[in-house]
Amino acid sequence: MQPERDFSEKPFLADRSLIKKLIAYLKRFPALLTASLILLIISDLINASYPLFLKNGIDNNITAGDLPGLYKTTLFLALTLLAGFLFSTTFQILTNYLGQKVIFAIRTDVLTKITQLTNRYFDKTPTGRNLTYLTNDIEAVKEFISSGIISIIGDMLKCLFILAFMIAINWRLTLFALVGSLPIFIIATYLFRLKIRKGYRGVRTANSIMNTLLIESLTGIKEILLFNHRKKSITDFNSASSNYLKSFLNIIHAYSIYFPLIEIVTSGSMIGILFFAHYTLNDLVTIGELFTFFIYVNLFFRPLLHLAEQFNSMQAATAACERIFSFLATKVEFTSTVPYTPQKRFTGAIAFNNVSFHYEKNNPVLKNISFTIKPGQKVAIVGSTGSGKTTLISLLNRLYDVSAGSITIDNTDIRNYHLTHLRENIGTIPQNIFLFTGSFHENIALFRDIPRAAIKKAAAHALIDTVIEKNPSSYDQNVLEEGKALSTGQKQLLAFARIFIQNTPIVILDEATANIDSESERHIEQALDSLLTDKTAIIIAHRLATIARADKIIVLHHGRIIASGSHEHLLRSSPIYQKLYSLQQIQLTTSSS
């Protein structure tokens, strides 16, 4: 397992950079964003103004005995509170809708990026990390956008409105209320922010590692049990879980200090107001102003406390944003450099020209590979495990790019074809067959609009029709997760049905009959003769009888072509091929006995 990226070891994206990237997503929906901001300003202004009615009621109505004026002030206060409620409710609805739209855009971008990355990225990246991007991280950002980022702007506006009203009422009283408490609040919040940011970064990293370990344990449970790997699996998970707990305890510790401190700061402001109360005797402050200031101090620190509470989702989202935007900035190894347009089918002429390839530098897997395949020719590739057979066809499908040399189809470098057009013309049955969540029909059609009659015909050619039709819902029967109810051989037959449907001019079979019994293999070879007529075929098989009828056989050894020719020619001239054939004969003799 690859180690999870530790953000503490690398400079993380600054808050300003993260906010800038989030705002770029918000700007994709200008109408919603503008409406939300307008509603936010109006609702904050209304909610900050209602204490002024209380001041007016006390100083101008109650003390003066003006009962009709008090009724009027009360009515205006009620209408103001109702308007504030309506604007706030509409604002919440709009911002949640805006948040969902933004999250949809981010999730789409993440999934698009995943589909753009090549096998080289996935070879080095644990599945759990990619899963975290699409689940935990996206969820954290969703909460932050829906109830965080615009709410934070609102809290700041509310504080500014309240401060403006306080200064307008009595600047001296404002000074007494805030001069000591506000600097302490700002310093405490800054230190709290640094502490909590580091804690949430650790939580996210540990959570991603746990996801990876859980996926490995679930998918590899048979190997874990068979090789007595339980203790090591549990130890690794407990270690990641311990790191998660340690990071979370640091967060709890920061909160347990911060919030009581803020309560003390708020109380300090109240003491300042009480200390100033004796000035009422000198008419420097009215009873209404004093009462209003008690309300305003609570209102002033409430959004500030809410800001602090938002650090929970804000810092979780910041750590998640760091990961998501760092992932979105991952360099794509290669993309299609030409626009996709429907083009004619390939004729199937393939050429490898001095192709070399390495997964890691200074460790070449293929070395100076050169050969040609004529349209309609059937070419088999043989070699011992690790000789580079599967890598070679991965290069043809452009799952990787060559490190040196070139591959051409119909005399055009495959890098000059759009990836979609290239893969529309190549049908591949890989060693490991993946079945999607969906019906048998959908898994054969690969979610394209294919008539049922064509699906049935393809299934019959692949000898999987009887297996499918035994199910209660036949072709509409849902396949269990990754086809767990099917044998490996049955999965391969389903993959054959896919190729019959695709009807591509180039067909690649990578150990396609490895898990099919001998009788089924004989039947499938008859169907393949029909399928491969007038098609270029590249066949990789461990059963040499499968490839003996190929027009040409290429022998790979340690990443190099050491021989090529017909089956009979290689039996006479290639010691490596002779050895492979002899081993195969021994296996056949042993299995038959």
The whole-number average pLDDT for the span 255-260 is 78
- Residue 409 β-bridge partners: 350, 412
The pLDDT tens digits for 189-204 are 777 777 777 777 777 7
> Quick check: 334 pLDDT over 70?
no
User: Looking at the predicted structure, is the pLDDT value of residue 587 above 80?
Assistant: no
State how far the alpha carbon of 459 is from the alpha carbons of 463, 506, 534, in Å.
6, 20, 21
Q: Give me the pLDDT at residue 577, please.
A: 83
Q: Out of 3.40.630.10, 3.40.50.300, 3.30.1330.10, 1.10.287.3510, which CATH number does the structure's domain 350-592 have?
A: 3.40.50.300
Helix, coil or strand: residue 479: strand
Task: Give mean pLDDT, residues 104-120.
Answer: 79
pLDDT, tens digit, 9 for 90 and up, residues 427-460: 888 877 888 878 889 888 887 888 899 989 888 8
Residue-level pLDDT at 328: 80
Q: How far apart are CA 278 and CA 565, in angstroms?
A: 107
Burial class (CB in 10 A: 0-12, 13-18, 19+), 566: middle
3-state helix, strand, coil in the chain (%, to 5): 65, 10, 20
CATH 1.20.1560.10 maps onto the chain at 13-328
End-to-end C-alpha distance for the chain, whole angstroms: 41
> Using 50, 70 and 90 to split pLDDT, how confident is the model at 9?
very low
Q: List, for residues 229-248, the tens digit of each pLDDT value.
A: 677 778 878 888 888 888 88
Band of pLDDT at residue 11, cut at 50, 70 and 90: very low
Q: What is the DSSP letter of 29?
A: S
Provide the CA 66 distance to its chain's centre, in angstroms: 65
Q: Could you tell me how far CA 327 lies from the centroid of its own chain?
A: 9
Measured distance CA(215)–CA(177) in Å, rounded: 55
The listed range with the strongest mean pLDDT (47-61, 285-299, 371-385, 475-489) is 371-385
Question: What confidence category does residue 370 fall into, taking pLDDT thresholds of 50, 70 and 90?
Answer: very high
Question: In this model, does residue 409 exceed pLDDT 80?
Answer: yes
Confidence label for 408 from pLDDT (cuts 50, 70 and 90): very high
CA distances to 132, 203, 321 from 315, rounded to whole Å, are 16, 11, 9
Which segments of the chain belong to CATH 3.40.50.300?
Answer: 350-592
Q: What is the topology classification, in CATH, of domain 13-328?
A: ABC transporter transmembrane region fold (1.20.1560)
Residue with the two structure tokens 């450099």: 337
Q: Which two tokens stand for residue 364?
A: 């070449």
| Model pLDDT, residue 126 | 63
**Which of 126-140, 347-361, 408-422 shows the lowest per-residue confidence on average (mean pLDDT)?**
126-140
Is residue 10 pLDDT above 50, yes or no? Answer: no
Taking the C-alpha atoms of residue 513 and residue 518, their distance in angstroms, rounded to an integer, is: 9
In tens, the pLDDT along 507-538 reads 998 877 666 666 666 666 766 777 788 889 99
- Across the chain, which distance is largest between two alpha carbons, in Å? 120
Distance separating alpha carbons of residues 250 and 256, to the nearest angstrom: 10
Asked if pLDDT for residue 353 goes beyond 90, the answer is yes
Asked whether 50 and 82 are in contact (CB, 8 A), the reply is no
Q: What is the pLDDT of residues 131-155, one digit of tens each?
A: 666 766 777 777 777 666 777 777 8
